[in-house]
Structure 1
């Protein structure tokens, strides 16, 4: 049985392109369900879900959307209906992937639709602004594929058809290759950086698997943190080990390497048992290929590779990060433990390391303890990468399993 792709586009302006995409998909043996998210006119291509159906799903009608009198408001309202319908079709198993096309207007809507769909559901956006700086990082679904719609702003041509064919093949291939998302073991969600910086997962993974858990480790360089928060929001984790908070401190200090203002909130809101540690919160990350952000140019900067570099936080910045972490941990609704490794929170933060800063670490730890609810805070006389830290994490987990806070794995 082949896959059905939900194809969304503005039928009043993109009918030729939508028909081309539909032909590409059916030509490869797939099926297509076409949704018109246009507002003003009738499409010339075949449509299965009309703009009137989309408006109705948003609790209005097409005339009501037009009456908003503003294209931004009209598209935002249309995206409500499109997101609702796409989510329902995916949940019912009637579509197995989604393909959307557009310029900035269609892409704005597409981002909302992607956010409404489950992580792992194939999503492809064919867009004139693929991964552009115009796109806020916190609106980009962590599993979305973007294909640049080159040469296709107005009408079909050879260059445009290449983009259309690539996008059609990408979504159909993804739908065919998608794996069953059924989890046969309770999952623990963990955050980290690469093992040159944080390596506790090497100690913890075999021990957690021996206890019957599956471990998913998320790389906290922006999109990884978004994926982590998305799954926590959907209650995908039996327990959270949020040990790399660099995205939170990056966002606080203006770095582009962040996961949005809601980082470190989803598990707390959902009441998921969580352990928290400030891994990586010694440094501010930046683009290695660009000039340092204002205020950081006079600091020592370490280039991790040609993409990402980092600079040491000053005392004030470390205290501010500790206060922000404490506020989010204090607001958690579920069982929470904040672990503070007193001997360092990053591999570079050791004696002889390039960013060893005992005074800054002590200030951070003191602020974190002062701002935390006393029963949530625990200091550990070890480095975050030491076996002693991992052993304490496992001891807390075992106590939570014993008292029923975390369900025992079969």
Structure 2
């Protein structure tokens, strides 16, 4: 039977979760309750004590410690372990949670542990602000609760009723997908990173990869996009990675708003996934509206890309450091790897006569990459082209195809 896991603090939200379970029953969907309340002794299919044990502790220990934050962290870890196990065994098809900040944080961590494609719906009082902690790099669906999750009233029953209908529909579709036999003709999935200012190269590469028999999946290099790609590489979804746009490294180094964190450009290498790495848009650091740029960058070269995005040109020193970091990360991996350098510019505005044209800074990047890869078995391909020139993206796609073929032969 199609089953939805209900994750929540059943001691404080018991009325709401009973209402959700009844609503799912009317949709002919079974509810499986997971209690994550560290102070809860409520009846549940997976009681709080079991969740605490899965998180590496016990309810007694959590209560004696008296640290709510630590208790919620443990319950979140346990809920993730329980939910992943249930999903892998085919016992749940989707997950729904409703709550405030504490309950949402616990449920979100559990949801993020599920693979992409598993339906996840979080109805939260926190869904109208900064939602990045609740979504991460997963496909969590958020719904703002409008009113607090405190009893069922004429407003909340409309919001929660929509949530029940939505998760029931998603769960039925997911259940049907899992029961269908696998498509043996499915094309190998290849990741491709793109930015607005590297779009021509990435579009050309995507078309070439499609022609070569792959399923290219494009990730927007905006921090969350890079993290999502890293996770898919680590989880074994990808046959290869064409990482043409590594601009998130610049934001991580300098302090921009689109950083993907220190682990960017590590997962494919750690997993041995064939990868071609580029230097797309390393000429820029991203900020929000012009007024939001920190004062410490006064005097730097800027371009207002649009009302909400301000770009700052990276210096020669920063470009040299980026080249060193990039090669260090690539060298730390294993499997077939290559780095491609477009010697006439790395973005749509780093071009002769363009606002970010800086031959000295680009040369610092290229020299650092050459030095960093010297003596390694990693291929370095230099092209006397701009990154968006016709042929560059296509050649990079063909190079990745070659590396994947080499990896397949070795296996």
Q: Give me the TM-score of the superposition, normalised by structure 1.
A: 0.89
Indicate conservation of the 8 Å contact 2:122/2:142, yes or no.
yes
Q: Distance in 2 between matches of 1:173 and 1:82?
A: 23
Q: 1:290 to 1:11 in 2, by over 3 A?
A: farther
TM-superposed CA distance for 1:272, in Å, is 0.8
Q: Who is 1:186 aligned against?
A: 188
Name structure 2 gaps, 5 residues minimum.
none
2:341–2:381 CA contact under 8 A, matched in 1:
yes
Match of 1:27 in 2: 26
Quote the offset at 1:111 in angstroms.
2.7
Mark the CA change 1:398 to 1:77 in structure 2 (over 3 Å): closer, same or farther.
closer
Task: Indicate which of 388, 392, 401 corresponds to 1:389.
Answer: 392
Partners of 1:198 and 1:346 within 8 A in 2: no
Question: Structure 1 156/298 Cα, relative in aligned 2: closer, same or farther at 3 Å?
Answer: farther
Counterparts of 1:351-362 in structure 2, within 5 Å, are 351-362=352-363
Alpha-carbon spacing, 1:90–1:289, altered in 2? closer, same or farther (3 Å): farther
CA offset at residue 359 of structure 1?
1.9
Structure 1 299/369 Cα, relative in aligned 2: closer, same or farther at 3 Å? same
Q: Quick check: 1:379 aligned with 2:376?
A: no
Is 1:128 the counterpart of 2:125 in the alignment?
A: yes
- Work out whether 1:235 is the aligned partner of 2:236: yes
Cα distance in 2 between the residues matched to 1:192 and 1:240: 12
Separation in 2, partners of 1:4, 1:154: 25
Aligned 8 A contact 1:198 1:279 in 2: no
For residue 26 of structure 1, report the CA deviation from its aligned partner.
Answer: 2.9
C-alpha distance in 2 between matches for 1:370 and 1:212: 35
Q: Deviations over 1:279-309 (max 9, x none)?
A: 1111111123752133335444333334333
In 2, the alpha carbon distance for the partners of 1:64 and 1:389 equals 59
State the distance in 1 between where 2:24 and 2:294 align. Answer: 45
Indicate the larger mover: 175-184 or 209-218.
Answer: 175-184
Contact 2:270 2:333 in 1 (8 A): yes
Superposed displacement of residue 9, structure 1: 0.4
Q: Which moved more, 1:248-257 or 1:384-393?
A: 384-393
Aligned to 2:112: 115
The aligned counterpart of 1:63 is: 60
The 1:180–1:114 alpha-carbon spacing in structure 2 relative to 1, beyond 3 Å, is same
Matched, 1:51 2:51: no
Change in Cα spacing, 1:373 to 1:102, as seen in structure 2 (3 Å) is farther
Judging changes above 3 Å, is the alpha-carbon distance between structure 1 residues 310 and 371 closer, same or farther for their aligned structure 2 residues?
A: same
Local SS of the residue matching 1:284: strand
1:37-186 alignment, distance < 5 Å = 37-43=36-42, 47-130=44-127, 132-133=129-130, 135-136=132-133, 140-178=136-174, 180=177, 184-186=186-188
Q: Tell me, yes or no, if the aligned pair for 2:274 and 2:400 is still in contact at 8 Å.
A: no
Please identify, of 255-264 and 180-189, the stretch whose mean Cα deviation from structure 2 is larger: 180-189
Give the TM-score normalised by structure 2: 0.89
Deviations 1:326-364 (A, max 9, x none): 221111122211111111111111123222222211122
CA distance, structure 2, for counterparts of residue 241 and residue 112 of structure 1: 29
**Structure 2: distance between partners of 1:110 and 1:141:** 15
Q: Residues of 2 paired with 1:289 and 1:156: CA distance? A: 44
Cα distance in structure 1, aligned partners of 2:217 and 2:56? 39
Q: Within 2, Cα distance between the matches of 1:224 and 1:74?
A: 31
1:272 is aligned to 273
Structure 1 position 132, deviation (Å): 3.6
1-side partners of 2:75 and 2:263: how far apart?
25
User: How much is the aligned-residue C-alpha RMSD, in angstroms?
Assistant: 2.6
Q: 4+ runs of 1 displaced by more than 6 Å?
A: none
Moved more, 156-165 or 255-264: 156-165
Unaligned runs of 5+ in 1: none
Q: Structure 1's 325 and 147: CA in aligned 2 closer, same or farther, altered over 3 A?
A: same
Q: 1:254-273 counterparts in 2 under 5 A?
A: 254-273=255-274
- The answer (yes or no) to whether the contact 1:203–1:390 under 8 Å persists in 2 is yes
Q: 1:41 to 1:210 in 2, by over 3 A?
A: closer
Shift of 1:134: 7.7
Per-residue CA distance 1:13-33 (angstroms, 9 max, x = gap): 111222232233333333211
Partner of 1:284: 285
